[in-house]
Amino acid sequence: MTGHRRLTLAAPPPDPFGERRRAAWSVRLQLLGGRFEFETDSRALLRIVHSAYARLPAHRLAAVAPRFRVRLALGPAAPERAAAAMHAADPSPVWPLSGGGMLCGALQSATFAALNPEQGSALIVVSRDMLRHAYHIRYELLEFAVYVLAARGQGLVPLHAACLGQRGEGLLLIGSSGSGKSTLVLHGLLAGLDFLAEDSVLVNPEGLLATGLANYLHLRRDSLRFLARPERGSLLRNATLIRRRSGIEKLEIDLRDLPCHLARAPQRLRAVAFISRRHTRNGVLLEPLKPSAVLERISATQRYAAHQPGWAAFRRQLLQLPAYELRRAEHPRTAIEAVRELLAE
């Protein structure tokens, strides 16, 4: 929003928050079981929405998809005398804006995401200097808002996990950072398995129907050492180097530009595998786990999900599935063969 009048209680303008003004662009997409509408006046923010969600399979979890609204607003330009303003007695004026049924007053440098899960809406405000960090806008603000709305609005359990599938049935892959989860997912894709999600999976706690975003895969560069030169070249041509908050650099690979099998529909979970850093013993990759071990591991790895409303039902259903510890093989392709056999049983 540009050219707005300064908001005062003495003489407010007719529509100070822009509630009755239509956004310049509106995009509707079917994601994570819901119908999302993204609104913005910024071409730059619109490009970030497209980079995150364009050309993804439209997943449905119910006959009638719930609706969600996400408004993305770009903050006002910094004044020419920004340096002098920093030392001024008064801060920058409040910038009034609205979106998704919420009203907001933001200062000049504000960047934040405000969510109203009960109304299924979110307001994301991005300062102009933040535009040079498009990855963080997408990953930390936009995807955060979309996942929370989809989970809360549909009663789904949010898991830190990956999921590979075959013929509509999925294997839930749970592993800590550095366990080799992403490398395993990569070789599952190369073997022709369906890709549902790499890092975040939303699950219906009653039917164990899982959905996710099959957009990006994040890999350390040394994960490509298992690939032949043509395969490495193809991945690197579609990769961007990103830096996590931890300082770790990873290759972000857009799978929509590769001949991969993206899961066309939600996957019904058939089994769960906890990825271990320990190497295989006596050639056995999949070690069956007792229910007590499953409960211990799932609670330890899913601390956020364990406090969500559907957790108790999800845990009961999960105990009905075969569960394994998936140990590390000399080559990830060997582990994927075990995964394929498991899904084919």
At 139-196, the pLDDT tens digits run 999 999 999 999 999 999 999 999 999 999 999 999 887 778 899 999 999 999 999 9
101 located within any domain = yes
Which residues have a Cβ under 8 Å from the Cβ of 292 and sit 6 or more positions away?
Answer: none
Task: Tell which wins on pLDDT, 92 or 292.
Answer: 292
Cα–Cα dist 337/335, whole Å:
5
Task: Tell which wins on pLDDT, 204 or 331.
Answer: 204
Task: Output the average pLDDT for the chain.
Answer: 88
48 and 161 share one domain: no
Give the pLDDT confidence score for residue 89 in this predicted structure: 52
Contact 173, 54 (CB under 8 A): no
- Helix ranges restricted to H, 35-76: 43-53
143 located within any domain = yes
74 and 140 share one domain: yes
126 and 275 share one domain: no
Full residue range of the structural domain in which residue 86 is found: 25-154
**% of the chain with per-residue pLDDT over 70:** 88
The count of domains in the chain is: 2
Task: Please give the structure tokens belonging to residue 135.
Answer: 């990855």
Contact 122, 112 (CB under 8 A): no
Q: How do residues 268-304 score in pLDDT, each as one tens digit?
A: 999 999 999 888 777 789 999 999 999 999 999 999 9
Residue ending a domain, choose from 154, 171, 186: 154
210 and 131 share one domain: no
Give the pLDDT confidence score for residue 67 in this predicted structure: 97
SS3 310: coil
148 and 184 share one domain: no
Cα–Cα dist 165/194, whole Å:
5
Task: Tell which wins on pLDDT, 101 or 165.
Answer: 165
Whether residue 76 is predicted with pLDDT greater than 90 in this model: the reply is: no
Give the pLDDT confidence score for residue 320 in this predicted structure: 95
Backbone angles phi, psi at 34, to 5 degrees: -115, 165
323 and 192 share one domain: yes
46 and 184 share one domain: no
Contact 29, 149 (CB under 8 A): no
